[in-house]
Amino acid sequence: EVQLVESGGGLVQSGGSLRLSCAASGFSFRSYWMTWVRQAPGKGLEWVANINQDVSVKSYVDSVKGRFTISRDNAKNSLYLQMNSLRAEDTAVYYCARVGYNNYEVDYWGQGTLVTVSS
Amino acid sequence: QSVLTQPPSVSGAPGQRVTISCTGSSSNLGAAFDVHWYQQLPGTAPKLLIYGNSNRPSGVPDRFSGSKSGTSASLAITGLQAEDEADYYCQSYDIRLSGLVFGGGTKLTVL
């Protein structure tokens, strides 16, 4: 069974930093693109960042470029999101998710971790 | 402003059929990238409902179907049930943004 379990969320002051982690199990982690998607309270889904299997490709939504860094450790079956210079508008539930083989579909999602940035 | 455009809400009575539209552009749906659909029940993570325009993952009832043509796509739900009340999102890949793009979401109300 595919499982994605996020951790590391919490309350942080504006300008602060936080590192999210995602532990993957039940599949060959090193074989898949992975992604972070966030959802602000009462709002829709927003893609945050992608990373490919061998870390040679990383992409970010414009609003987090230069502040967030996506990374992975295939030996530990783990995905990370380092978030610096946090702003109030970064407040959201952050989902770790797997990108499927077909055509960039997100086929498995974690339960999400809440990040709250206080101003 | 989402890259993919969906109606904010749709509604229907039990047993009826509803459709949810998703409109993109030449850098995503029009660039031959597939559209995918997700169902998000209140307080839960999204769940893949339709992938590759019209394919259902195992376990998704055949009451749900999807289609795509050019820069537009749609999700159809037939035989509406109370349990279908949820938020629905379309998603694709955008070549200009080099990332995933989502619609703003559509809230389905079963009357």
- pLDDT (tens digit, 9 = 90+) per residue, B20-32? 999 999 999 999 8
pLDDT at A102 over 80: no
Element (H, E) at A71: strand A68-73
Q: What is the mean pLDDT of residues A33-56?
A: 96
Select the more confidently predicted residue: B98 or A74: A74
Structure confidence at residue A56 (pLDDT)? 94
Residue spans of chain B under pLDDT 50 = none
- Mean pLDDT of all residues in chain A? 97
Structure confidence at residue B32 (pLDDT)? 87
Structure confidence at residue B57 (pLDDT)? 95
Residues of A in contact with B92 (CB under 8 A): 104
Q: Do A104 and B2 touch (CB under 8 A)?
A: no
Q: Do A45 and B57 touch (CB under 8 A)?
A: no
Query: Cβ distance B110 to B81 under 8 Å?
Result: yes
Selected residues 20-49 of chain A with any CB under 8 Å from a CB in chain B: 35, 37, 44-47, 49
Can you tell me the distance from the alpha carbon of A36 to that of A94, in angstroms, rounded to the nearest whole number?
7
Minimum Cα–Cα distance from B33: chain A residue: A103
Residues of B in contact with A2 (CB under 8 A): none
pLDDT at A119 over 90: no
Question: In chain A, pLDDT over 90 holds for what percent of residues?
Answer: 97
DSSP state letters, A17-66: -EEEEEEEESS-GGGS-EEEEEE-TTS-EEEEEEE-TTSS-EEE-GGGTT
Structure confidence at residue B62 (pLDDT)? 96
Q: What is the mean pLDDT of residues A50-68?
A: 96
Closest to A59 (Cβ–Cβ): which among B51, B91, B99? B99
Q: Residue A103 — pLDDT band, cuts 50, 70, 90?
A: confident
Strands A10-13 and B86-94: unpaired
Burial of B26 per CB tally in 10 Å (0-12, 13-18, 19+): exposed
